[in-house]
Amino acid sequence: MKKIILVLLLTPLILYAQHSKLNLECKTCHSCDIPTKENPCLGECPREELIRINQKPEEAPRIIKIDRIKETNLYGPSIFDHYAHSDMSIMSGDCRICHHYNPPGNIISCSKCHSPQRKRIDISKPDLKAAYHRLCISCHREWSGEIECISCHKPAGMQEDLTLKSINKKSIHPEIKAPIKKVYNTNFTGGKLVTFYHEEHNKIFGFECSDCHKNESCVKCHATNKSALKQSPAILHSKCNKCHDTEDKKSCNLCHSNVEKPVFNHKQRTGFDISKFHSELKCSRCHVTKGKYTGLKKECKNCHGIWTTDNFDHKVTGLILDETHVEFECENCHTEPTYQERSCNNCHDDKSYPQNKPGKVVKR
Amino acid sequence: MSKQTRRNFIKTAAVAGSVIAGLPKKTDAAPKNILSEDRMGVLVDTTVCVGCRKCEWACKTAHNMPTTPLESYDNREVMKKMRRPDHTSLTVVNEYEFDDYPEFPIDVKVQCMHCDHPACVSACIVGAFSKEENGSVIWDSSKCIGCRYCMVACPFQIPSFEFHKAIQPEIKKCDFCFSRTKEGKLPACVEICPMEALTYGRRKDLIDIARRKIELYPDRYINHIYGETEVGGTAWLYLASRKFEDLQFPKLGNSPAPGVTEAIQHGVFAYFLPPIALYALLGGVMWINKNRKKSEEGEE
């Protein structure tokens, strides 16, 4: 009994702790002064401000049979592939595009706000049937023009097919093949072509799909009429201007050119060759300021700190220093901050690199 | 039409007319014309409608009108040309495509608007039309004489006439499912709409909801509730994403339509002039006939 009382006492505290992260006034959601679990006296759904769901597609059910609405006997329930839809939603606004209201905690069911009955007192929000249909049909209509009931429902009385052919597949959506490069043909007179290396942004610059494809509608890929999707320069620029300055008139030709541009070359652009040791690294490992990639000094200690004989194993360079040389400070041989130069002159008058080596060459 | 023939009507009108003519005060024909505070309405959100035409099927089914099976309504070919409600379908959905957003054509359901100050009720000379307490404007077949004044008076050109029928042709128009709502059911179209593009409720509440929608989604809706003030207000209200003229809604003023028709009618029929004139004419004809008969008899 004591335990129960303790739990009861703590529940509001726990809830408060979750809610407090939201930076909201209690009155935003509750109409009374002391809301209880039994009577939360919730007001109108405040929608977007309150969405707190971060579930992975795998955490939700694979297939959902939507059969709560039975008022008309025209069509059977709809078998909804939740996985496929949630998997794709990452590119277009996440879970919230459907679960548009959810306080912290579990997913609340649609029928909590949307009445299963059409004849009801509060008509300010659509009933459950309409809430479902508005979500489904709006998208499906836009990308395939399909609004027929039978595209989702079997006629009433017919056995529905629960064994979706694709049920064993990870996703019914075919694997998305990201392009290696895309060449945009623009109207900009100073350079019509913009060569966009998609793979580079993805693999080297380390962007996740959803970093750029955030509020994509399904139509982006599924439209029957692609020309309708032609975007304005402002929209196209908005995808790039998080990192590239699209306002600065002087920097237009960084992307715009009359010929296709080659892949980004760090040495050519900045003078610092990264092909030898840093080619596998994501840019953000060194360029830590978020958003814009600012230049760094051409010094190793930008990232590595100051190397000493203790914290640097010279073997990684392909040369094991011999007993004599292993004791020296780095600067004795490498006289400049990129460690590119190898000089023997500090000690030797008659020796020079690479004819003479201060140790054994090994395969890197 | 069935019980009251034109001849009977004239007879009764003659008797009644002679009685009324003797009265000093002008008396209105008294059709039921109630404007209840709690009258119902429907809010049509054209940004939600997908043009599935289930409402057309439900309407015909509810009114025992012949219809093709429900599946046949998936065929969108019929939407290629504009249609009007008529005696075969009391409501139709038209689709409008716009070049700036071809993916999303706008669908508009058309039916009787159930005016707050219905011109048909006012124009009907036999009081066959009435505005009921729940907002419906309905028509009584037993009173109608088939004059079709309602068709001319209606600012939305809704009432249609069964011209093809020689016997007992009827006026046909949406009756707001009066018999269904009386039993506490929803209008058939509202009940079937998969998107709830049609919301049935107290007209007052619907206007509040519509206003709130416009306020919340100013990009989605233009700031105009069609039917809120048009011809003095209608029970059916519309929200849209673009100008209503683009969707072939008639551009109407805010004063009630009967204002015009009543002025004409009351002008023409003032002091019971037409019946008196008619009697004078008929009397004249009778008198001539009588004279002719007499003279014929005389000749014999």
Query: A226 and A244 share a domain?
Result: yes
By the 8 A CB rule, do B254 and B234 touch? no
Gap from B88 CA to chain A (nearest CA, Å): 23
A:B CB pairs within 8 Å: 62
DSSP code of A74?
Answer: S
Strands B198-202 and B160-161: unpaired
CA neighbor of A134 nearest in space, from B98, B221, B299, B52: B52
- Helix or strand or coil: residue B211? helix
Residues of B with CB under 8 A from a CB of A: 48, 50-52, 70-71, 74, 101-104, 184-186, 190-196, 199-201, 205-206, 209, 212
Does any CB of chain B come closer than 8 Å to the CB of residue A9?
no
In a domain, B172, yes or no: yes
Chain A closest-CA separation from residue B131 CA (Å): 23
The verdict on residue B67 lying in a domain is yes
Find chain A residues with C-beta within 8 A of B220's C-beta: none
Residue A93: partners with Cβ closer than 8 Å, 6 or more residues away:
A214, A215
Domain boundaries, position B22: 6-28+273-299
Residue A231: inside a domain, yes or no?
Answer: yes
Nearest Cα to Cα of residue A84 among A177, A164, A178, A161 = A164
Give the max Cα distance, chain A.
100
Considering A216, A240, A264, which residue would you say is the last residue of a domain? A264
Answer yes or no: is pLDDT of B113 > 80: yes
The closest alpha carbon to B139, from B111, B159, B154, belongs to B159
Pick from A44-53, A74-83, B91-100 the range whose average pLDDT is largest.
Answer: B91-100
Q: How many CB atoms lie within 10 A of CB A141?
A: 17
In chain A, which residues have their Cβ closer than 8 Å to the Cβ of B42?
none
State the DSSP code for A202: I
Residues B60 and B120 in one domain: yes
| Same domain (yes/no): B174, B216 | yes
Is A61 part of a structural domain of the chain? yes
Residue B251 lies in a domain: yes
DSSP string for residues in B192-225: H-TT--EEEEEHHHHHHHHHHHHHH-TTTS-S--
The pLDDT assigned to B63 comes to: 96
Residue B192 to residue A124, Cβ atoms within 8 A: no
Residue B267 forms part of a structural domain:
no
Asked whether the beta carbons of A230 and A221 are under 8 A apart, the reply is no
Number of domains in chain A: 4
Least CB-CB distance to A118: which of B74, B102, B186?
B186
A150 and A59 fall within a common domain:
yes
Structural domains in chain B (count)? 2
In a domain, residue A318? The reply is yes
CB count within 10 Å of CB B198 equals 23
Same domain membership, residue B166 and residue B115? yes
For residue B22, the model assigns a pLDDT of: 45
CB B120 within 8 A of CB B150: yes
Q: Domain boundary at A264, A286, A316, which?
A: A264
Specify if B268 maps to a domain: no
Q: Is A269 within the bounds of a domain?
A: no
DSSP 8-state assignment for residue A324: T
Residues B59 and B93 in one domain: yes
Is the pLDDT assigned to residue B23 strictly greater than 50? no
Residue type, B84: R
Give B30-88 pLDDT, tens digit per residue: 678 889 999 999 999 999 999 999 999 999 999 999 999 998 998 889 999 999 999 99
For A78, the 3-state DSSP assignment is strand
Query: Is the same domain home to B89 and B114?
Result: yes
Residues paired with residue B138 on neighbouring β-strands, in sequence order: B130
Residue B26 pLDDT > 60: no
Q: Are A219 and A154 in contact (CB under 8 A)?
A: no
Separation between Cα atoms, residue A14 and residue A16, nearest integer Å? 5
Please name the residues in contact with A310: beta carbons below 8 A apart, sequence gap of 6 or more.
none
Tell me how far apart the alpha carbons of residues B209 and B222 are, in angstroms, rounded to a whole number.
15
Say whether both B47 and B139 belong to one domain.
yes
Same domain, A50 and A143: yes
The two tokens of residue B295 are 């003279």
Name the residue of chain B whose CA is nearest to A119's CA.
B186
B100 and B127 in a single domain? The answer is yes
Both A27 and A85 in a single domain?
no
User: Does the residue B240 lie in any domain?
Assistant: yes
Model pLDDT, residue A299: 77
In a domain, B33, yes or no: no
Whether B196 sits inside 8 A of A130 (CB atoms) is: yes
| Shortest alpha-carbon distance between residue B52 and chain A (Å) | 7
Mean pLDDT of A262-283: 78
- The answer to whether residues B153 and B242 belong to one domain is yes
The mean per-residue pLDDT over the stretch A239-255 comes to: 81
Per-residue pLDDT tens over the stretch B196-206: 999 999 999 99
Query: Nearest to residue A228, comparing CAs of A217, A218, A219, A238?
Result: A219
Do B89 and B237 have their domain in common? yes
Is residue B34 situated within a structural domain?
Answer: no
B21 with B44, same domain: the answer is no
Dist CA A105 CA A284 (whole Å):
33
In chain A, positions 195-224, which contact chain B (CB-CB < 8 Å)?
219, 223
Residue of chain A whose Cα is closest to the Cα of B73: A148
| Whether residues B222 and B286 fall in one domain | no
Angstrom distances, CA of residue A116 to CA of A64, A125, A129, A135, A137 = 17, 12, 7, 16, 18
Asked whether residue A275 is domain-assigned, the answer is: no
Domain containing residue A323: 298-364
Pair (A93, A36) in one structural domain: no
Phi, psi of B156 (to 5 degrees): -105, 5
- What the block records as the tokens of A360 is 């054994």
Contact between B196 and A127 using a beta-carbon 8 Å cutoff: yes
Same domain, A74 and A39: no
**Positive or negative torsion for Cα A294, A295, A297, A298:** positive
Q: What is the pLDDT of residues A188-208, one digit of tens each?
A: 888 888 888 888 887 777 777
Distance CA B137, CA B116 (A): 9
Range ranked top by mean pLDDT from A121-130, A217-226, A313-322: A121-130
A345 and A358 fall within a common domain? yes
Classify the phi-psi angles of B162: left when phi > 0, otherwise alpha if psi is within -120 to 50, otherwise beta.
beta
Statement to judge: residues A30 and A69 lie in one domain: no
Interface with chain B: mutation pick from A133, A152, A231, highest number of B CBs within 10 Å? A133
**Looking at beta carbons, which residues of chain A come within 8 Å of B184?**
119
Do A2 and A55 fall within a single domain? Answer: no
Cβ atoms < 10 Å from Cβ of A302: 14
ipTM: 0.77
d(CA B19, CA B25): 12
Do A345 and A363 lie in one domain? The reply is: yes
A127 and A191 belong to one structural domain = no
A123 three-state secondary structure: coil
pLDDT band for position B168 (cuts 50, 70, 90) = confident
Asked whether the beta carbons of residue B102 and residue A225 sit closer than 8 angstroms, the reply is yes
Q: Are residues A329 and A247 in the same domain?
A: no
Q: Rounded to the nearest 5 degrees, what angle is found at the Cα of B121, between the Cα atoms of B228 and B207?
A: 15
Q: What are phi and psi of A132, to 5 degrees?
A: -65, -50
- Residue B116 sits in the same domain as residue B220: yes
What is the average per-residue pLDDT within B239-243? 94
Q: Is residue A202 in a domain?
A: yes
Name the residue with tokens 């277009």. Answer: A92
